[in-house]
Amino acid sequence: MSRTEKIRGGVAEAMAHDSARLHVTGAARYCDDIQAPAGLAHACLGLAEAAHGRIVSLDLAAVKAAPGVLGVLTASDIPGANDISPTGRHDEPVFATGEVLFHGQPLFAVVAETRDAARRAARLAEVEIVPLPAILDLDAARAAGGKLVTAPLTLTLGDVDAAIAAAPRRLAGRMAIGGQDHFYLEGHIALALPGEDGEVAVFSSTQHPSEVQHMVAHVLGLPSNRVTVEVRRMGGAFGGKETQSNLFAAVAALAAVTLDRPVKLRPDRDDDMVATGKRHDMEVDYEVGFDAAGNVLGVEMTFAARCGFSADLSGPVTDRTLFHADNCYHWPAARLTSEPLMTHTVSNTAFRGFGGPQGMLAAERVIEEVAFALGEDPLTIRTRNVYGDAARAVTPYHQRVEDNIAPRLMAALAERADYWARRAALRRANADSAVIKRGLALTPVKFGISFTATHFNQAGALVHVYADGSVRLNHGGTEMGQGLYMKVAQVVAEEFQIDVDRVRITATTTDKVPNTSATAASSGSDLNGMAARNAARAIRDRLTDFAAESHGVARDQVSFLPGRVRVGNAEIAFDELVRQAYMARVQLSATGFYKTPKIHWDRVAGRGRPFYYFSYGAAAAEVAVDTATGEYQVERVDILHDVGRSLNPAIDRGQIEGGFVQGMGWLTTEELWWDDAGRLRTHAPSTYKIPLASDRPRVFNVHLAEDSENREETIYRSKAVGEPPLMLAMSVLHALSDAVASVADYSLCPRLDPPATPERVLAAVDRLREAAR
Amino acid sequence: MTSTRGAIRFLHRGRVRELAAESATRTVLDWLRETEGLTGTKEGCAEGDCGACTVLLGRAEAGAVRYEAVNACIAFLGMLEGRHLVTVEDLAASDGTLTPVQQAMVECHASQCGFCTPGFVMALSALRHASASASARDVEVALQGNLCRCTGYQPIVEAGARMYELTGPPVLPAVEPGELDALEDGATVRVGGFVQPASLDALADILQATPEATIVAGATDVGLWVTKGLRDITPMVHIGRVAALREIDEGPERLRLGAGVSYTQAWPALVRLAPGLDALLARIGGAQVRNAGTIGGNIANGSPIGDMPPPLIALGARLELRSRGEVRELPLEDFFLDYGRQDLAPGEFVTAVTIPRPKPGTHFAVYKISKRRDEDISALCGAFRIDLVDGVVVEARIAFGGMAATPKRAAVAEAAMRGRTWDETVLDAAIAALAMDYAPIDDWRASGAYRSRIAGNLLRRFFAETTEPAMPVRLAHV
Ligand SMILES: Cc1cc2nc3c(=O)[nH]c(=O)nc-3n(C[C@H](O)[C@H](O)[C@H](O)COP(=O)(O)OP(=O)(O)OC[C@H]3O[C@@H](n4cnc5c(N)ncnc54)[C@H](O)[C@@H]3O)c2cc1C
Ligand code: FES
Ligand code: FES
């Protein structure tokens, strides 16, 4: 490397995604693109066609006899446990036996020479299921006694009953919040290769290779050391591949081991959507006490969540809902309760935000209600209630908000977006426009960073420096498009002061870094960046020792400069120093480990510090609504988002924009629709509508918050960015609400529940017009 | 007697490919990925909705080769006959230099997980190849058939502008028209259940001989019967090579569209006939679907939510059908008998649709309502046409999709308008009458109540647009 003053691709540089070139040329290999091994067979799942019922018979003779079929697998073929429950509750079988618990539950798998043959054969099963009463929605769940899939949680701060009772004003309401399908562009897939002596290697599109490894071992009755799970990249995940990959990997591995052939399982998009969990839909009952100035005095909320047939991650998801039911607001007294209800539907799971978004939506609804009750602008009420100084900094879980920049962000954004002037202009324009009404809203975001299960907050990395000075990097985090691999490579490049091109990023695999946590909770770069830095530092320390010793200088006389190392008065190219170190038998490989400090959480007491820090943001959205049809479009969005000191501003910006649009989809056009038989009818992109290019805001101004650095010692003082931006899209829902409110001269709260499809928007318009009459 | 050829011939990667032993229902995507090992083209849905499988097909047209984006997941292999197939692997120069489109995507940070990226690169390459510049709106329209779940699209749309500023290797390895013309031998292609005649007479004969055959035009409906329904639709008779069915005849009195004309091809002529169709055409599928899908197929498919029948019925279109020797014509609305049942005899096929040119005094509009604005199926689609003479409605034709088991006229509402002065009173009467015309159902696209409510509101919108055109009553981009 030349003697430049700066390395290429160090920390804070807006590097392109490491695979960008491969993406645009079609050369990036996803699991389905791995060259087919000889003898590859294909599996297809047979799914139940009843929401709840007793399996009377499962006749697979026709399936077995179908052309190209190699074998059929049911629960009785499982050598280990017929269980892929990620919580150890044994409430989630690979294949249903005895009882079917949701429409689309896997009953068997068929393996055939081709994928087409397997799909055709799967449809030939003769299954007799005696229907049992199916609990499909929250009302039915409550009516049937309210069975829970996991222990509920209550967070309590102060005496909320007294606070609400004593409040000058009170109101109560209910909000229904829709679910969301992940719609990762690459569906689930697993490819399993049988090895010798019971070993199996699985290529899986998963955010959680270690869990897939453990599940496969569990199902096959093997110790974990026989199973290797690898993933180079996913075509999107968003939480949908945190636990949901287990099924596909387990079945592929079971088939591979049983037939002693490589087996791939790639479900059709319809099966993927029907058989895998989604974001929880919830119903929130809220009551709020407030004063005439709009200060909230007490809040009570109950979140009923449709969890589906099993616990999956519903416990931590609904906990996180409660942790975020304050959003950025100080509730002086609060009681927040979760009700994780069992239903005969697919088991809902992690999805970007992990329950947090539903809590935050409820908080914003409460604020909106107060604003309308008092005839104030919602932004005024937001500003009034935002977390503040020490006296107004305690959350309902008794962690103090110490790094609060929400007020500053909101004020800066209101100015940047010219909120008040536009608000006035809009209202004037609405008065003159009979059909098309405009709406504007500014909403903030505060999101807690860390896994709330403390033990997940650990990570490992493995760094090799080869004798030629090139570096190979591996860590437990997975790449799903979020740019984690690049960020971590930038960290390693920075540590060694070499160009990032010299750092080879490699697939995540359980045999290099063990016992990893899911790449989730926005924690990927926080955890893996630190682990990789620790690994790189260990090697750098050895190189420093070696250089100091071999040149007879003190350690502090050794420093790593771009592409070279200064040793006393001499400078040696990095590669040369490495070569010398190798010759001197210095170990050039190291593991790194990291665990997040400071955090603790006592669930029973409802107290602790579950979050290492908070990420903040704010968005202002303007929409236009056709009040005759409910159609709308997003005219302009301004965002100010906090990423601390960015590791890579280009990648962070991408996360913000992408998260926003994904959140907007959740709150607008993405509607999950089950029929009376419990069948998901929006099971493909033809019926389930995620945003398109033409849905993106027509004007989209995105800025990273300036002068922000993480108060905590995170990797280069950056902040997590994966999840928080999704909730910036709340501004769109509230802008729609504002436009709707115009039809009743802003006197009534529209109570617009998401997803705000055109039909829902029109219903709100009609309701307000009726009420205002 | 036409000759027969037992192989499909097309251009791919610089050579003529001849495939003789392929199944009719094999998709281009499966062939690329499984047989050719070309895995750059992705499968995201296998139903034409996500665009991850986008490839380009070159077609000789008016002395040039036109490259169109299509969805490989629902294109049958035989449909490659006589075309030039271009995939993402074929773009970058052999030394690895990226094309302006690819380079722009990299520079704009337009890929995250990258799974959608090949599809976007192909869709943008088609645009960049076809035009010397593009507005943000043009880019959006070119990308209506591509889903991205990661980026939020902003950087991709930026790449759509940036690609015009960059130079580099050719956007795609275009061929000369002569190379494609050389493949046309007039023979009927027959491969593994796939039959593709090259003339109208040959088509008529084949259908006469095999009336059980499935007619395939663009396969944007039929493709899903195979990829999702796993149906055996052989023998499959593909009409895409019959030149007579691809004719567009713009006469002074009427427009005649051959049944095999795609939305893309018909678009300019339809807009010249009735400018109100522009906004609708921009909302049918995405570019890939409009390039492959035909208006004849939309009609013949007989779906109650197909978008073309309502406006064409309102405009007074007639359908032309042919069985072996016989040609007949009927008003389009009469073609739709009941849900899934059309007035089409075995062996008979649609040859054309003829649309009379609106007269002065004719007001026409069509409104589509869907959950998502673009690339979505209508919850309902309402088309309105009135002929006004001195403020009096001398003729009214209203047709809706999504309101009944077939595309259906609003006979009662029309009667309430015909012969009356076009004013609020008549409007209210007509809106009330819609309740007698339609009893729509609930489904995942909309409730029946919403459909009913909107149907009236759309008639009100039509009234406003005909009486007070200056007042905006729809969103700017709808
Ligand atoms: C992603 C996607 C989006 C879509 N969006 C829309 C939309 O917005 N609006 C809309 O209306 N439709 C939409 N469609 C449906 C479809 O594109 C249209 O119906 C299309 O016009 C069908 O034409 P085709 O040429 O592809 O027909 P094919 O699929 O080839 O055939 C459809 C039917 O017509 C029959 N047929 C075709 N040609 C003839 C003929 N000449 N004579 C007799 N029978 C014939 C076939 O046998 C078959 O029954 C969409 C489809 C997809 C995949
Ligand atoms: S795979 Fe989705 S459009 Fe073809
Ligand atoms: S980059 Fe992931 S879907 Fe577009």
Structure confidence at residue A315 (pLDDT): 97
A214-243 pLDDT tens trace: 999 999 999 999 999 999 999 999 999 999
A730-741 and A649-667 helices cross at what angle (nearest 10)? 40
Closest ligand by atom to B147 CA: 3
Overall average pLDDT of the A677-694 stretch = 98
Compute the distance between CA of residue A580 and CA of residue A542 in angstroms, rounded to an integer.
12
Instruction: Tell me which chain B residues have a C-beta less than 8 angstroms from the C-beta of A658.
Output: 112, 149-152
Overall average pLDDT of the A576-585 stretch = 98
Compute the distance between CA of residue A188 and CA of residue A387 in angstroms, rounded to an integer.
41
CA A342 to ligand 1 centroid distance, Å = 42
Q: Judge: B371–A758 Cβ closer than 8 Å, yes or no.
A: yes
Structure confidence at residue A319 (pLDDT): 98
CA B217 to ligand 1 centroid distance, Å = 8
Closest CA relative to residue A137, chosen from A344, A349, A321? A344
Parallel, antiparallel, or unpaired: how do β-strands B236-238 and B194-196 relate? parallel
Closest ligand by atom to A234 CA: 3
A692-715 pLDDT tens trace: 999 999 999 999 998 888 999 999
A209-220 and A245-259 helices cross at what angle (nearest 10)? 40
Query: In terms of CATH architecture, what is B245-356?
Result: 2-Layer Sandwich (3.30)
Closest ligand by atom to A655 CA: 3
Dihedral pair phi/psi, residue A216, rounded to 5°:
-60, -45
Q: Where are the alpha helices (DSSP H) in B336-470?
A: 411-417, 424-437, 448-467
Structure confidence at residue A2 (pLDDT): 47
Mutation choice for A interface testing from B115, B127, B368 by most A CBs within 10 A = B115
Q: Judge: B45–A29 Cβ closer than 8 Å, yes or no.
A: no
Closest ligand by atom to B298 CA: 1
Are the C-beta atoms of A163 and A337 separated by less than 8 Å?
no
SS (H, E, C) A149-178: CCCCCEEEECCHHHHHHHCCEEEEEEEEEC
Q: Is the predicted pLDDT of residue A498 greater than 70, yes or no?
A: yes
Closest CA relative to residue A408, chosen from A439, A359, A446? A446
Compute the distance between CA of residue A639 and CA of residue A655 in angstroms, rounded to an integer.
12
Which letter does DSSP use for residue B34 in this model? I
Residue type, A234: M
- Tell me which residues of chain B, numbers 229 to 288, contact chain A at a CB-CB cutoff of 8 Å: 230
Please name the residue whose Cα sits nearest to atom 2 of ligand 3.
Answer: B113
CA A174 to ligand 1 centroid distance, Å = 43
The CATH class that applies to domain A282-452+603-772 reads alpha beta
Are the C-beta atoms of A615 and A719 separated by less than 8 Å?
yes
Identify the active-site residue in A339, A495, A723, A759: A723
Q: Do domains A282-452+603-772 and A458-595 have the same CATH topology?
A: yes
Strand locations in B212-326 (E): 214-216, 236-238, 248-250, 254-258, 318-322
Count CB neighbours of B282 within 10 A. 21
Sorted by where each begins, the domain ranges of chain A are 31-133+188-266, 282-452+603-772, 458-595
Provide the residue count of chain B. 478
Compute the distance between CA of residue B359 and CA of residue A487 in angstroms, rounded to an integer.
64
A434-473 pLDDT tens trace: 999 999 999 999 999 999 888 899 999 999 999 999 999 9
Mutation choice for B interface testing from A34, A116, A185, A435 by most B CBs within 10 A = A185
Residue type, A156: T
Residue A3's pLDDT band, with cuts at 50, 70 and 90, is low
Compute the distance between CA of residue A549 and CA of residue A468 in angstroms, rounded to an integer.
21
Residue A589 tokens read as 């490989």
Structure confidence at residue A524 (pLDDT): 86
Q: Is A26 left (phi over 0), alpha (psi -120 to 50) or beta?
A: left
Contacts of A271 (CB under 8 A, 6+ apart): A45, A47, A104
CA B200 to the chain's CA centroid: 22
Mutation choice for B interface testing from A19, A437, A692 by most B CBs within 10 A = A692
Instruction: Tell me which chain B residues have a C-beta less than 8 angstroms from the C-beta of A237.
Output: 113
Structure confidence at residue A7 (pLDDT): 96
Contacts of A14 (CB under 8 A, 6+ apart): A648, A649, A650, A651, B109
Our answer to whether residue A723 is catalytic in this structure is: yes
Q: Judge: B121–A24 Cβ closer than 8 Å, yes or no.
A: yes
Task: Report angle CA A58, A63, A69 to the nearest 5 degrees.
Answer: 140
Q: Is the dihedral of CA A181, A184, A186, A188 positive or negative?
A: negative
Closest CA relative to residue B29, chosen from B49, B10, B43? B43
B142-173 pLDDT tens trace: 999 999 999 999 999 999 999 999 999 999 99
Q: What is the dihedral of CA A729, A732, A734, A739, to 10 degrees?
A: 180
**What three-state secondary structure class fits B195?**
strand
Compute the distance between CA of residue A262 and CA of residue A192 in angstroms, rounded to an integer.
6
Sorted by where each begins, the domain ranges of chain B are 4-89+175-238, 92-162, 245-356, 362-467
Q: Is B224 in the pocket of ligand 2 (CB under 6 A)?
A: no
Q: Judge: B444–A687 Cβ closer than 8 Å, yes or no.
A: yes
Mean pLDDT estimate for chain A? 97
Compute the distance between CA of residue A304 and CA of residue A318 in angstroms, rounded to an integer.
9
Compute the distance between CA of residue A513 and CA of residue A278 in angstroms, rounded to an integer.
29
Q: Percent of chain A, pLDDT > 70?
A: 99
Size of interface A-B (CB pairs under 8 A): 268
- Is the domain spanning B4-89+175-238 CATH 1.10.10.60? The answer is no
Residue B310 tokens read as 């309502």
Residue type, B242: V
Residue A688's pLDDT band, with cuts at 50, 70 and 90, is very high
For ligand 3, residues with CB inside 6 Å are: A 185, 236, 481; B 111-117, 148-151
Residue type, A154: T
- Tell me which residues of chain A, numbers 242 to 301, contact chain B at a CB-CB cutoff of 8 Å: 268-270
Compute the distance between CA of residue A323 and CA of residue A610 in angstroms, rounded to an integer.
9
- Is the domain spanning A458-595 CATH 3.30.365.10? The answer is yes
The domain B92-162 belongs to what CATH superfamily?
Answer: [2Fe-2S]-binding domain (1.10.150.120)
Strand locations in B310-405 (E): 318-322, 327-331, 336-338, 341-342, 349-356, 362-369, 380-389, 392-401
Residue type, B283: R
Q: Is the dihedral of CA B445, B446, B448, B453 positive or negative?
A: negative
Are the C-beta atoms of B378 and B366 separated by less than 8 Å?
no
CA B42 to ligand 2 centroid distance, Å = 8
Structure confidence at residue B478 (pLDDT): 57
Count CB neighbours of B125 within 10 A. 27
Overall average pLDDT of the A480-491 stretch = 96
Q: Judge: B144–A694 Cβ closer than 8 Å, yes or no.
A: yes
Q: Is the predicted pLDDT of residue A1 greater than 60, yes or no?
A: no
- Ligand 1: residue of B76, B237, B270, B301 to mutate (most ligand atoms within 8 A of CB) is B301
Structure confidence at residue A4 (pLDDT): 60
Which atom, in ligand 3's list, is nearest to the CA of B149? 3
Chain A closest CA to B388's CA: distance in Å? 25
Chain A closest CA to B204's CA: distance in Å? 33
Q: In this complex, is the C-beta atom of B87 within 8 Å of any C-beta atom belonging to chain A? A: yes
Q: Judge: A269–B477 Cβ closer than 8 Å, yes or no.
A: no
Compute the distance between CA of residue A306 and CA of residue A310 in angstroms, rounded to an integer.
10
Closest CA relative to residue B129, chosen from B79, B70, B78, B67? B67
Q: Judge: B476–A695 Cβ closer than 8 Å, yes or no.
A: no
Query: Which of A120, A481, A624 is nearest residue B230 as measured by Cβ atoms?
Result: A120
Residues with pLDDT less than 70, chain B: 1, 478
**What three-state secondary structure class fits A453?**
coil
Contacts of A322 (CB under 8 A, 6+ apart): A153, A154, A155, A303, A336, A337, A338, A359, A396, A397
Query: In terms of CATH architecture, what is B362-467?
Result: 2-Layer Sandwich (3.30)
A419-432 and A406-416 helices cross at what angle (nearest 10)? 50
Compute the distance between CA of residue A371 and CA of residue A485 in angstroms, rounded to an integer.
44
- Which CATH number is associated with domain A31-133+188-266? 3.90.1170.50
Count CB neighbours of A14 within 10 A. 13
- Tell me which residues of chain A, numbers 450 to 489, contact chain B at a CB-CB cutoff of 8 Å: 480-483
Query: Which of B41, B102, B457 is nearest residue A629 as measured by Cβ atoms?
Result: B457
CA B115 to ligand 3 centroid distance, Å = 5
Residue A280's pLDDT band, with cuts at 50, 70 and 90, is very high
Q: In this complex, is the C-beta atom of B46 within 8 Å of any C-beta atom belonging to chain A? A: yes
Spell B157-188 as b/e; 16+ CB within 10 A means b.
Answer: bbbbbbbbebebbebbbbbebeebeebeeebb
Q: In this complex, is the C-beta atom of B16 within 8 Å of any C-beta atom belonging to chain A? A: no
